[in-house]
Structure 1
Amino acid sequence: MKASRYFVPLFLCGSILFSNAEAQRPERGRDEYLGRPIAQTMHYLGAPWLVRESREREEEPAKLLAALDIRPGQTVCDLGCGNGFYSLALAEQVGPKGKILAVDIQREMLQMLKERAEARSVPNIKTIKGKVNDPRLPVGEVDLVLLVDVYHEFSHPAEMLAKMRESLRPEGRVALVEFRAEDPAVPIKPLHKMTQAQCLKEFEANGYKLVGQFDELPWQHVLFFARDDSPLEEVDLKAWANAAP
């Protein structure tokens, strides 16, 4: 994806991968939210793109995993888990006493994850068939909700943010990872990118505050949010260093 040969999967993101998106939306959702057009849901037929070999060098997921500051024994939700690219790595981080709640709205994605977890003998992943307006998470039990390149596809963003907020422990966090819309060099269609400002606008409108950020990934913003009544300290947003003035 950094060179022309990597663009084929990205073009698919606008066609085959999203061709049956309405099948994933049993309830009609929004077409836009707070001025942002909502993208369609990635179809399970595009799952191989999530585990492509080039993802390691294009997105540097090891850096993201280190920045999450996950501790053994925690309960972490991989929301929009797909076929488990991050779920499997998170399961190792939380250890045998921790738990991964892997949520997706497509049964096919969850089945792929189950098969991959069984093949690797990973026992601490619980798959959850979510709804478009409810991830079906336990109330007040989650230490971290990880959203990797998926929030911009939520057809019911306000409802999902409310349910996510309910699921968090007092010091629980949401890690929002989205491709940088400020950077035209990021080879992702604009509909699948978000600016820092838009991320902040949507989360603050739904009872969250910014408690951290990580700016060291090649293509993606990482913003950490907590409930607005959390004891975690609110921080000021640092504009992406290479953003246009």
Structure 2
Amino acid sequence: MRFRHFLAITGCSLAFLVGPELVAADEKPTESASESRYETRLRHDPNGIGKFYMGREIARVMGWQAAPWLERPEREKEEKLSSLVKSLEIKPGMTVADIGAGSGVISAMMAKAVGENGTVLAVDIQDEMLSLLDKKMKARGIMNVTPVLGTEKDPNLKPNTVDLAFMVDVYHEFAFPYEMTAKLAKALKPGGRLVWVEYRKEDPKVRRMIKLVHTMTEAQVKKEASQPEFGLKWKETIDVLPVQHIIVFEKKK
């Protein structure tokens, strides 16, 4: 399987399944849930970091060395990124934030959708990814994409400035999902949308393809996003993609 070879030369943890899930995450946490919103478990899925949030293990982050995998020619066929962009009904002039933008594949598509009067804020926590993204945008003459260096707890977006923020196959890797969701909600304008795009854990086909910690159920996303302090409400779940949910929340006006 070619993903196995790619994994060997990059040293990265990819979402695609290249071997069996080896360890069950069934140990009692070393830290009480009453003391923290996160738990650490000694035994856990080897593809996760051993840190749990609301019953879900957080996955390992895909490193910048895996950028060629994000650029693979077959990605459109596998994930239908063009259908994702179309389904979100982007309007010219919008400010859109691509959270976990990576090398900028979707940022470039969004740049066309928002038009020359719109802005795409391409957020990533890896300088190397943003460098690759910036070079790509300059080479293609795309002027309305702005790289933004975030942290594990903060996307570094100004409050009440974003019409739409979306996360494609990235939220499940957030080391601090609670803090990031809180900051993203603050960055949205009233009525703005926060979108989770995650591999469907409910789908047996997806579970055969994708490592379990890189998948999420719709119910789990709703559970994590619906905490009242975020001020978000579920708007819709769009099922137009082959293997992923598009779960849309809206900031209360």
- The answer, yes or no, to whether TM exceeds 0.5 is yes
Which residue of the partner structure matches residue 127 of structure 1?
147
The TM-score normalised by the length of structure 1 is: 0.83
- Specify the alignment match of 2:240 in structure 1: 216
- Partners in 2 of 1:195 and 1:91 — Cα distance? 29
Shift of 1:6: 6.2
1:106, 1:75 → 2: CA distance? 22
Q: Aligned partners of 1:75 and 1:138: how far apart in 2?
A: 12
Q: Deviations over 1:93-140 (max 9, x none)?
A: 101100010000000000000010001000111101100000000110
Runs of 4+ in 1 over 3 A off after TM superposition: 5-9
TM-score of the two chains, using structure 2 as the length reference: 0.81
Q: Counterpart of 1:34?
A: 54
User: For residue 179 of structure 2, what is the aligned residue in structure 1?
Assistant: 159
Match in the other structure for 1:83? 103
Q: Counterpart in 2 of 1:16? A: 11
Cα root mean square deviation, aligned: 1.8
Supply the AA of the counterpart residue of 1:93. Answer: A
Q: d(CA) in 1 for partners of 2:167 and 2:247? A: 10
Pair 1:70 & 2:70 matched: no
Q: Which amino acid aligns with 1:207?
A: G
SS of match in other structure, 2:90: coil
Which residue identity does 2:129 align to in structure 1? Answer: M
Aligned residue for 1:178? Answer: 198
Given residue 180 of structure 1, which amino acid in structure 2 is its aligned partner?
A: R
Unaligned runs of 5+ in 2: 15-37, 40-50
Identity of aligned residues (%): 44
- What is the SS of the residue equivalent to 2:179? helix
Structure 1: unaligned runs, 5 residues or longer: 20-28, 231-245
Considering only CA atoms, is the larger Rg found in Structure 1 or Structure 2?
2
Partner of 2:218: 196
Secondary structure, aligned partner of 1:160 = helix
| Partner residue in 2 for 1:240 | none
Q: Which amino acid aligns with 1:94?
A: V
Q: Following TM superposition, by how much is the alpha carbon of 1:183 offset from its aligned partner in structure 2, in angstroms?
A: 1.2
Deviations 1:151-181 (CA, angstroms, capped at 9, x unpaired): 0000000100000010001110011100000
Counterparts of residues 108-147 of structure 1 (less than 5 Å): 108-147=128-167
- Structure 1 residue 92, shift from structure 2 partner: 0.6
Report how far residue 53 of structure 1 moved.
0.8
The whole-number CA distance in structure 1 between the counterparts of 2:98 and 2:90 is 13
2:17 alignment counterpart: none
The SS at the match of 1:128 is: strand
Aligned residues: 214
Measure the CA separation in 2 of the matches of 1:189 and 1:146.
Answer: 22
Q: Measure, in 2, the Cα distance between the counterparts of 1:76 and 1:213.
A: 19
Q: Whole-Å Cα distance in 2 between the matches of residues 61 and 178 of structure 1?
A: 13
Shift of 1:207: 3.2
